[in-house]
Amino acid sequence: MSLLRAFIAVEIPSSLQKKIQESTAGLRKTLGNELIRWVPPQNVHLTLKFLGDVSSFSLELIKQMLTAEAAQYPCFEMQVEGIGSFPNPRRPRVIWVGLRAPAALESLQRGIESASARLGYAADEKSFSPHLTIGRVKQNLSALEIQRIRAALEETKIGLLGVVHVDAAHLFKSDLQPSGSVYTRLFSAKCGGLSAKSGGLSAPIGKR
Looking at residue 206, its pLDDT comes to 44
What's the pTM? 0.89
Q: With H, G, I as helix, E, B as strand and everything else as coil, classify residue 24.
A: coil
**Is residue 180 in a domain?**
yes
**Is residue 198 in a domain?**
no
- Domain containing 11 equals 3-193
Looking at residue 55, its pLDDT comes to 92
5 and 185 Cβ atoms separated by less than 8 Å: no
How would residue 88 be classed by pLDDT, with cut points 50, 70 and 90? confident
Q: What is the mean pLDDT of residues 111-131?
A: 93
Q: The domain spanning residue 38 has which CATH number?
A: 3.90.1140.10
Lowest mean pLDDT among 62-66, 106-110, 167-171, 201-205: 201-205
Summarised one tens digit per residue, pLDDT across range 22-81 is: 999 999 999 999 999 999 999 999 999 999 999 988 999 999 999 999 999 999 999 999
**Is residue 99 in a domain?**
yes
Report d(CA 191, CA 166) in Å as an integer: 8
**Is residue 202 in a domain?**
no
How many domains, in total, are found in the chain?
1
Active site residues: 45, 131
Per cent of the chain over pLDDT 70 is: 92
**Is residue 187 in a domain?**
yes
**Is residue 149 in a domain?**
yes
**Is residue 115 in a domain?**
yes
C-alpha pair distances (Å), 33 with each of 28, 162, 183: 8, 27, 21
**Is residue 30 in a domain?**
yes
